[in-house]
Chain A
Amino acid sequence: MRVSDVMMGKSFLANLTQMKNNIDKVNREIYSGSKINKPSDSPTGTSKLIKLNESISQSESFQKNVAYSLSFMNETVSSMEEIEGEVGNLEALFAEINNAANQPYLKNYGQKVDLAIDSLLNAANRSYDGKYLFGGTDFDSKPFDFNADKSAIELQVSAIDGEHNVKIGPSTVQKVNISGDELFGSIGTNDVFNTLIRIKDKLNSGEVPTQSDIDLVKDFHSNLLNKLSYAGNIQSYLQSTSEMIDQRVLNMKNLVSMETDVDIAEAAISMQNQEYMLQVAYKTASSILPKSIVDYL
């Protein structure tokens, strides 16, 4: 084939451009640390990345929900344990009352019951981050309080049966509260507060409380223990969900890494190779391109 001067120049420039493009590509990969910097670098990879990043971001959002719900449940369980402690003490106190030797001191027991009512009321009205633990979904005012003449405890909100349903997975919604309704039942006559008020009133008037009232307190205690177990299950479920989300996020980040991360060692070797080729091309061109027969005439 006849080789003209223009061909030499064109051929050199075309190869040089190709080499510089290769160097630029490897260079961009090294300094960005990513193989995909724009959709056309890998259209399917970009699509995968968008979906993976959404899943990671969503999972991190679920993780926040789980962490918050766990704190809320911890606070709920702590309050329920406090109530359980008070109710347990009250049951022991009721056993003492039945002892004839303690009959003269019924008023003293009445004072103890009175203090226990305050303590229960305090625990039942406890809040976390502006939310009443047992107030259902009405956060506007505390759910339980004495009526005007302090003779009974009444609901201060319209309802306490609202559920806190929290999304903790793409298709998982978990209830993360124990509603006041679930724990204390219907507030009015036979709830634990008003039952204890009746017991207190009896003791203060020197009478032994009725067995039916003591049974109501026992029933409340039994329900409370059930709900504590239920709350513990929720805590445990949230805990394991949190670990699963962590694992899921880790797996997805690995997938992202596989899709985008540059093998720096490989890229550096490739870069060295390209630079070497570039030097050879320059050296060869510098000795061949300027030469012609004119130099020897």
Chain B
Amino acid sequence: MGISRVFDISRRSLATYQKAIDISSHNIANASNPNYTRQRARISTEIPEKTAQFIWGTGVKLDNIDRVKDGLIEAQLINNSQSYSRHNKESILLGQVEQLFSEPSNLGISNLLTNFMNSWNELSVTPNSVSLRNNVIFNAQNLADKVKNVNTDLGTIKYDVFHEFKEQTDRVNTLLSEINEFNKQIFSFKASTSSPNDLLDERDALINELSGMVNIKVNYDQNNMASVSIGGVFAVDGSFANTFEAQVVNNKLTLVSANNPNPIDLSGGELYSLSDVYSNKISEYQSGIDSIFNKLVEKVNALHESGYSLNDSTQTGIKFFTSYSGGELEINSSIISDPTLISVSSDGTSGNGEIARQISEISNESVLNGQTLLENYASLVSKIGNEKLTNEKLAEANKMVVDNLEMQKASISSVSIDEEMTEIIKFQRSFDASAKLIQIANNMLEQIMGLI
């Protein structure tokens, strides 16, 4: 046994604790990095030596740099992020849709439709009044403008949703390509005894972002390579990154893989919500409005055509609305220029307002789906509100789960400055002691040298 052994042990110790301090410094530097997973120095005793029938300890060594994380929480987080993003996005989009209807207020279709029907009722009392006839036209124009605006705005939202879907699809492709690159880099460290922790963090951040956009499944192999599938279709692994494109198939907006023409089964993430709002919700709302106004046009015109106008020729067979198509309610232009053509007399006399009274009664008749027109409209608005509220509540519930999981993840994987500083003090003490040991060994050696 020589004094030089003390030097060896101390030297190893100094190097080990310096590396441990480096790891803590790295942790502290990344304390505010949301994607960072804290690292731990795994310190163990160096392999002992057998000399002169004794087994001698040879000091300390740095075994590995561990990445502290819980894979189960990560998997749950990916699942719940898909669900949260889906409901949150749908709630935002439906929030935009419900605002278009301006309900409940005086500016909504409900009030304008009621005003229109009431104007017929008032005209029935004084059918020869041109000002009341103008009032009918004015209310019809207000109603037509609002219906057109709602339909146009729904179309604009649909257009915007389609473009957002395309942009998100591009982002999905970019993420897949980046994940593929990271997989390759991670694989290149396969031979190393230590894992490339910071690269793994970067790749996990990309996978997390992807999980918010679309429903994915992630598997990891023994080399830490992530294999991702979207809706059951292969998306990326270490050797290849698939690409996807946005397509409208059978009026449904969906993702299609570059090497497989079948639509992807979307079930989560923002892309699902965008597809659902584009393919189902907006079409359903537009169809609801269309059926109400088609029925209104049919009922008003049927009665109006049976009436006689006020002008000298007492014409009959005049349509009040020319048509309702493409979300536009068109009023007969002849009536707009000559209100006396409004045909409300059932016998041709100027004081007969029977037809106007009958038209006003449409508002109390169950003419569509066993309900009045306004009840149909109220059901539609209530449905939109309900769907928005349900998604909002589900998003809140999912957010609570996601927050909880993120807290658990942070509890395990995030940096605590207090903890790191305490570790540094601990390592610093060990480093100081090792340096002191070298000094002591040096003194011992000097003592011996002084004897010579």
Q: Is A3 an interface residue (CB 8 A)?
A: yes
A138 contacts B410, CB within 8 Å? no
Say which one of A7-15, A23-31, A226-234 lies at the interface with B: A7-15
Q: Given known contacts A5-B417, A40-B388, is B118 in contact with A61 (CB within 8 Å)? A: yes
Residues of A close to B382: CB separation below 8 A: 39, 43-44, 46-47
A131 contacts B347, CB within 8 Å? no
Closest to B399 in A: A14
Q: Is A58 an interface residue (CB 8 A)?
A: yes
Contact of A167 among B350, B357, B383 (CB under 8 A): B357
Q: Is B412 an interface residue (CB 8 A)?
A: yes
Residues of A close to B34: CB separation below 8 A: 6
A61 contacts B121, CB within 8 Å? yes
Q: Name B's interface SS.
A: helix
A162 contacts B349, CB within 8 Å? yes
Q: Mark B429-443, 1 if CB is under 8 A from A, else 0.
A: 000000000000000
Which of A39, A130, A297: most chain B Cβ within 10 A? A39
Residues of B close to A150: CB separation below 8 A: none
Residues of B close to A294: CB separation below 8 A: 417, 421
Q: Is A268 an interface residue (CB 8 A)?
A: no
Closest to B312 in A: A140
A4 contacts B351, CB within 8 Å? no
Q: Is B407 an interface residue (CB 8 A)?
A: yes
A122 to chain B, nearest CB (A): 20
A53 contacts B411, CB within 8 Å? no
A50 contacts B374, CB within 8 Å? yes
A7 contacts B351, CB within 8 Å? no
* Docked CA distance A162–B351 (Å): 8
Closest to A157 in B: B349
B390 to chain A, nearest CB (A): 9
Interface residues in chain A, defined as those with a beta carbon under 8 Å from any beta carbon in chain B: 1-7, 10-11, 14, 36, 38-44, 46-47, 49-51, 53-54, 57-58, 60-62, 64-65, 68-69, 129-131, 135-140, 158-159, 162, 164-167, 170-171, 173, 260, 292-294, 297
Q: Given known contacts A3-B416, A162-B351, A294-B417, is B407 in contact with A10 (CB within 8 Å)? A: yes
B98 contacts A40, CB within 8 Å? yes
B99 contacts A130, CB within 8 Å? no
B407 contacts A129, CB within 8 Å? no
Q: Given known contacts A7-B411, A10-B410, A46-B103, is B417 in contact with A39 (CB within 8 Å)? A: no
* Docked CA distance A143–B126 (Å): 18
Q: Given known contacts A57-B111, A293-B417, A297-B421, is B121 in contact with A65 (CB within 8 Å)? A: yes
* Docked CA distance A5–B416 (Å): 5
A53 contacts B114, CB within 8 Å? yes
* Docked CA distance A39–B364 (Å): 23
Q: Mark B53-96, 1 if CB is under 8 A from A, else 0.
A: 00000000000000000000000000000000000000000110
Q: Is B17 an interface residue (CB 8 A)?
A: no
B419 to chain A, nearest CB (A): 8
* New contact pairs (5) apart from A60-B118, A140-B350, CB-CB < 8 Å: A2-B419, A53-B114, A58-B114, A138-B349, A139-B351
Q: Is B389 an interface residue (CB 8 A)?
A: yes
Residues of B close to A165: CB separation below 8 A: 124, 354, 357
Residues of A close to B361: CB separation below 8 A: 167
Contact of A50 among B115, B381, B414 (CB under 8 A): B381
Residues of A close to B99: CB separation below 8 A: 38
A43 to chain B, nearest CB (A): 4
Q: Given known contacts A46-B381, A53-B104, is B389 in contact with A40 (CB within 8 Å)? A: yes
Residues of B close to A297: CB separation below 8 A: 421, 425
Residues of A close to B117: CB separation below 8 A: 58
A4 contacts B95, CB within 8 Å? no
Q: Mark B395-438, 1 if CB is under 8 A from A, else 0.
A: 00000000100110011101111110110010000000000000
Contact of A39 among B101, B111, B126, B407 (CB under 8 A): B101
Q: Is B170 an interface residue (CB 8 A)?
A: no
Contact of B104 among A6, A49, A58 (CB under 8 A): A49
Q: Given known contacts A46-B104, A135-B351, A140-B350, is B122 in contact with A7 (CB within 8 Å)? A: no
* Docked CA distance A69–B357 (Å): 15
Q: Is B288 an interface residue (CB 8 A)?
A: no
* Docked CA distance A130–B351 (Å): 10
Q: List 29 A-B contacts (CB under 8 A).
A: A2-B411, A4-B410, A4-B419, A5-B417, A6-B410, A7-B407, A10-B410, A36-B104, A38-B385, A39-B98, A40-B94, A40-B95, A40-B386, A40-B388, A43-B381, A43-B386, A46-B104, A50-B110, A51-B378, A131-B126, A137-B347, A137-B350, A139-B128, A166-B124, A167-B361, A292-B417, A292-B421, A293-B417, A297-B421
